[in-house]
Amino acid sequence: MDMKVKYRLPSLPQQAVLDEQDQALITLIQTGLPLTPTPYADLAKQLNIDEKEVIQRIQDLNETKVIKRFGVVVRHHELGYRANAMTVWDIPDETVSELGLCMGQFDFVTLCYRRPRRLPDWPYNLFTMIHGKDRDDVLANIQLLAKRCDLDEIEHKVLFSTRRFKQRGAIYR
Hey, which residues between 81 and 110 contact another protein (CB under 8 A)? 81, 86, 96-97, 100-101, 103-110
**What length does the chain have?**
173
129, 86 contact by CB (below 8 A): yes
Nearer to another protein, 72 or 152 (CB): 72
CB of 48 to another protein, least distance (A): 18
Return the residues of window 15-44 that contact another protein according to CB under 8 A: 15-16, 18, 23, 26, 29-33, 35-41
CB contact set of 49 (below 8 Å; sequence gap of 6+): 21
Q: Which of 61, 89, 91, 151 binds another protein (CB under 8 A)?
A: 61
Return the residues of window 114-143 that contact another protein according to CB under 8 A: 114-116, 118, 121-122, 127, 131-133, 137, 140-141
Residue 84: which H helix or E strand, with range? strand 83-90
DSSP lists the bridge partners of residue 85 as 130, 160
84, 163 contact by CB (below 8 A): no
